[in-house]
Chain A
């Protein structure tokens, strides 16, 4: 099935969970990433049970602490 991850179209397996996507995308510091699916945040406790569907739009939001 096709989903969009961080603006890029991807062909992924049916039934992919957010946790599996985080692993396959090599997300840095995965325990602190914020995830949105179709412009709704997914609670980190629900990454395991959130199954992605055809056409889903997934964004990863990262902590960026620098500035000075």
Chain B
């Protein structure tokens, strides 16, 4: 596949990077990334991945755009209120870069669709807002051996890690089970500063680009935390993949996907 003149110009700032070059840009154009959640994290990630020329981007979200989303979900505009988030996201991504094939999935992830959703993608990006989804996505990616960028944000804090099944620890190595309903606040209950999604979602996009191009060191085996009030990043080295992990150890006790109960306050919002 040769570049068109338009592509050479569009991606010139990538191609000029010795780590990326024409080869790396081709890898991006052949790359397939699935973004789960077209919200605070997923919006900036989708914008950067589309702009970068990731050839196929899937986006999963069952919601429609709401006025309260626009403080942080920068892929949607005021005119998109009431529109399916996946549609609104697709339109913006294609407006930025018509090279990108955007696949939309207007649905919630659950045990009966997640394996099918992730199977054709090279890299999965978790931009969901609840623990049942985060555990489900982790377990599915471990079972299907799919690389995953996991992230969470709340108030003025955010964190992320990259999970390569078999190479480093998974989300369940750190957190064995979801906390009980409403035991740990969500963004909706506690609030989140809009730019936090931009910081952490962009870092997730960075990991996806590095994974696809094979450049640099991924956040495998580390949890990177960010505190905006202290303006501090902290990189926590995680213990090696746990022998005791219920899903990613050599003798897992979790071998089927689990649909944990959604927090009631979140369900009402949909």
Measured CB to CB, the residues of A under 8 A from B are 6-7, 29, 31-32, 34, 36, 39-41, 59, 61-68
Contact = CB atoms under 8 A, between A and B. Distances in A.
B154 A39 contact: no
Contact of B223 (A7, A29, A61): A61
Contact of B152 (A32, A41, A64): A64
Contacts of B129: 65-68
Contact of B153 (A29, A31, A39, A67): A67
B94 to A, nearest CB: 22
B238 interface: yes
Interface residues of B, number: 44
B236 A59 contact: yes
A41 B236 CA distance: 12
B174 A34 contact: yes
Given A32-B183, A32-B184, A65 B237 contact: no
Given A67-B151, A68-B41, 19 more contacts: A7-B234, A29-B183, A32-B179, A34-B174, A36-B239, A39-B239, A40-B239, A41-B173, A41-B174, A59-B236, A63-B175, A64-B152, A66-B129, A66-B192, A67-B40, A67-B126, A67-B127, A67-B129, A68-B69
In the complex, which of the residues A29, A36, A65 has the most CB atoms of chain B within 10 Å of its own CB atom?
A: A65
B37 A68 contact: yes
Interface in B124-180: 126-131, 134, 151-154, 157-159, 173-175, 179
Given A32-B183, A40-B239, A68-B73, A63 B234 contact: no
A36 B152 CA distance: 19
Given A36-B238, A68-B129, A63 B184 contact: yes
B153 A64 contact: yes
Q: Which 9 pairs from chain A and chain B are nearest by CB?
A: A68-B39, A64-B152, A66-B187, A68-B129, A66-B154, A67-B129, A67-B41, A63-B184, A66-B153
Contacts of B184: 29, 32, 63, 65
Contacts of A6: 234
B21 interface: no
30 contacts: A36-B236, A36-B238, A39-B237, A39-B238, A40-B239, A41-B173, A59-B236, A61-B174, A61-B175, A61-B236, A63-B152, A63-B179, A64-B152, A64-B153, A65-B130, A65-B131, A65-B134, A65-B185, A65-B186, A66-B152, A66-B187, A66-B190, A66-B192, A67-B41, A67-B42, A67-B153, A67-B187, A68-B63, A68-B69, A68-B73
A18 B134 CA distance: 28
B40 A63 contact: no
Contact of B186 (A31, A32, A34, A66): A66
A39 B61 CA distance: 36
A68 B152 CA distance: 9
Interface string B221-249: 00100000000101011110010000000
Interface in B4-50: 37-42
